[in-house]
């Protein structure tokens, strides 16, 4: 009896195992799918993170480039007068000379030096001198065309680059700039300040270098300053 009873229980057990098998197979299949799918989600997440990081770095690079461009531009501007400084002017003068040499265009350089500027600093202080410099820069910038260029290249020295102008007109423009500055006034600490300027002009020539045309204009300015002093003392 025990043997016969055991023989009957084995088919029943086999049927129970067989009944459970589809569910177990499904569970194993589902687990395998989950295992295969699980690495994909982190991979997609890592790719998204990488893309976001690249975008952030690109934005930072664009912003850094913009800051560098702004800093480079400010490096060529005189902070007191807001005119181009010597560095910026020398770059523009090189371009102008190359253009004159290639296309035969006419251009002139006017070199300007304020008269008796030191006594203003000595008597009224450097803040008063700064007020005079800013006023002179404003007057000079207003006296030239938008295609021309005015720069401050030294303490009380300015230059004007004039395009499409002949020598006679350049000389006349130099005298006009002297007159405009002489008529100007600046105020500081209740004092009304005025000043003169001496201007010398030189044409840009095809074989010029920046140094050579600046030297000619500088010599013309000093000759003009000497003549003005002689006229005042006579």
User: pLDDT tens digits, residue range 36-92?
Assistant: 655 555 567 888 888 887 788 788 778 776 666 655 556 899 999 999 999 999 999
> What local confidence, expressed as pLDDT, does residue 70 receive?
59
- C-alpha to C-alpha distances, 25 to 14, 18, 21, 29, 37, nearest whole angstrom: 16, 11, 6, 6, 18
CA distance 88 to 153: 9
> What local confidence, expressed as pLDDT, does residue 55 receive?
81
Q: Ramachandran region of residue 223, left (φ > 0), alpha (ψ -120 to 50) or beta?
A: alpha
> What local confidence, expressed as pLDDT, does residue 2 receive?
47
> What local confidence, expressed as pLDDT, does residue 193 receive?
95
The helix/strand/coil state of 234 is coil
> What local confidence, expressed as pLDDT, does residue 53 receive?
77
The answer to whether the Cα torsion of 220, 221, 223, 224 is positive or negative is: positive
Length of the chain: 234
- Identify whether 156 is a catalytic site residue: yes
pTM for the structure as a whole? 0.71
> What local confidence, expressed as pLDDT, does residue 26 receive?
60
Q: Give the chain's residues under pLDDT 50.
A: 1-8
Query: 164 is written with which tokens?
Result: 């499409």
Q: Ramachandran region of residue 10, left (φ > 0), alpha (ψ -120 to 50) or beta?
A: alpha
> What local confidence, expressed as pLDDT, does residue 65 receive?
67
Q: Ramachandran region of residue 106, left (φ > 0), alpha (ψ -120 to 50) or beta?
A: beta
> What local confidence, expressed as pLDDT, does residue 15 receive?
55
Domain 86-233: CATH superfamily, name plus number: Reverse transcriptase/Diguanylate cyclase domain (3.30.70.270)
CA distance 202 to 186: 29
Which residue out of 156, 169, 208, 218 is catalytically annotated? 156
Instruction: State which H helix or E strand residue 149 sits in.
Output: strand 149-152
> What local confidence, expressed as pLDDT, does residue 63 receive?
75
């Amino acid at each position: 009896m025990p043997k016969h009873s055991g023989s009957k229980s084995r088919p029943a057990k086999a049927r129970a195992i067989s009944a459970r098998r589809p569910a177990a197979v499904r569970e194993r299949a589902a687990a395998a799918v989950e295992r295969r799918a699980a690495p994909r989600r982190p991979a997609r997440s890592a790719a998204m993170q990488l893309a976001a990081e690249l975008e952030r770095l690109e934005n930072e690079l664009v912003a850094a480039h913009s800051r560098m461009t702004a800093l480079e531009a400010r490096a060529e501007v005189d902070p007191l007068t807001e005119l181009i400084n010597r560095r910026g002017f020398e770059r523009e003068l090189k371009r102008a000379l190359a253009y004159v040499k290639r296309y035969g265009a006419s251009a002139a350089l006017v070199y300007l030096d304020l008269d008796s500027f030191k006594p203003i600093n000595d008597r009224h202080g450097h803040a008063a001198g700064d007020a005079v410099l800013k006023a002179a820069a404003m007057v000079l910038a207003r006296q030239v065309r938008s295609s021309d260029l005015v720069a401050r290249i030294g303490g009380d020295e300015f230059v004007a680059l004039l395009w499409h102008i002949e020598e006679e007109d350049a000389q006349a423009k130099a005298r006009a700039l002297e007159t405009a500055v002489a008529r100007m006034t600046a105020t500081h600490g209740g004092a009304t300040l005025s000043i003169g300027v001496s201007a010398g002009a030189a044409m840009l020539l095809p074989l010029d270098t920046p140094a050579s045309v600046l030297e000619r204009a500088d010599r013309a300015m000093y000759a003009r300053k000497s003549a003005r002093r002689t006229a005042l003392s006579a």
